[in-house]
Amino acid sequence: MICYMGLCFARGNDAAVQIAVSIAGSVEEFANLMNQKAKELGLENSHFITPHGLDMDEHYTTAYELAIMADYALNIEKFSEVVRTRTYTVCIDGNYKTITNTNELLGYLNGVNGVKTGFTNGAGRCLVTSVERNGFNIITVVLGADTKKIRTQDSIKLIEYIYSNYELVNFEELINKEYNSWLDINKNRINVYKGKSSNVKIDLEDYKYKIYPVKKDSIKDIKVEADNIQTNFEAPIYKGTQIAILNVSIGELDLMNIKILTIENVERRDIKDYVFICLESII
């Protein structure tokens, strides 16, 4: 725990090296693990050489990918606990020392709960900040600031701009409303020719954004519309067959294209089925 506090609170490069060696056996092998994790997270513009991030030509990342890393790490309970703690007292060989988190926004700006400051000659003053207000979670990244003051001011400007101009929209509610309205009109129009059943059960595929931040003046431009509708099929048809698409957009932004799919197979009628149908009509 002391190493983690030394790393996240006091930017301890020695703590970073000790953690790397303890986990992987060497700095080099730990860097390999870091690059493997970066690949798993889909980070295409990040590469790591050291655990502490001091300037090296082959050690680099971007603001966007730092935000992805922070988002991933904040789901780890111990990490989240450490980065939101302002002070921590450690005891080493009977000597007590209180260390203070270098994140100057903790306890100062409403909702800030992490994450990390940084500085190298190449990167300048940096700050990755996590904020939560009324269930609206954001991560901001400031890199290359000349001073701590500028780093702090720019971070606050970003944070307040987002909360002043964006609102979380419940897209799941909007999508379900449009889908159910579409289903009421079309469920009896979907026919399966020569099928053991004349209709088929359908549902929406899983989609990415249930809740999504939208600029307040663009909320009126949200549209959820059905397209590419197919109503007539010849059996057999299989689970996963596309019936239609729900297009979700915000003005010119094409946010999601959600398929409406069959969720069961419909087999083709065989001779026995036709005999049974004939007997039913006679009787």
Q: What is the pLDDT of residue 269?
A: 81
For 71, residues 6+ apart whose C-beta sits below 8 A from its C-beta are: 139
DSSP state letter for 85? -
The residue whose two tokens read 């996963």 is 240
Q: Residue 48: helix, strand or coil by DSSP?
A: coil
pLDDT band, very low/low/confident/very high, at 98 (cuts 50, 70, 90): confident
Of 125, 123, 261, give the one whose Cα is nearest residue 204.
261
pLDDT digits (tens, 9 = 90+) for 40-56: 999 999 999 999 889 99
> Cis bond leading into 236, ω under 30°?
yes
Joined tokens for residue 78: 């111990």
Give the Cα separation of 224 and 258 in Å (integer).
Answer: 10
Q: What is the pLDDT of residue 67?
A: 98
How far lies 86's CA from each of 101, 134, 201, 277, in Å?
5, 22, 54, 76
Could you count the other beta carbons within 10 Å of the beta carbon of residue 278? 10
Q: What is the mean pLDDT of the chain?
A: 91
Q: Where are the domains of the chain?
A: 2-146, 169-262
The yes-or-no answer to whether 2-146 and 169-262 have a common fold is no
The residue type at 166:
Y
Residue 280 has pLDDT above 80, yes or no: no
CATH class of domain segment(s) 169-262 = mainly beta
Joined tokens for residue 170: 């419940």
12-21, 72-81, 112-121, 208-217, range with the lowest pLDDT: 12-21
- CB 258, CB 204: distance < 8 Å: yes
Report percent pLDDT > 70 for the chain.
Answer: 91
Of 62, 81, 76, 58, give the one whose Cα is nearest residue 5.
81
Residue 205 has pLDDT above 90, yes or no: yes
Angle made by CA atoms 130, 158, 219, in degrees to the nearest 5: 95
CATH class of domain segment(s) 2-146 = alpha beta
Of 243, 239, 273, give the one whose Cα is nearest residue 258.
243
How far lies 163's CA from each of 85, 134, 166, 197, in Å?
23, 10, 6, 52
Q: What is the pLDDT of residue 2?
A: 47
Q: What is the pTM of this model?
A: 0.84
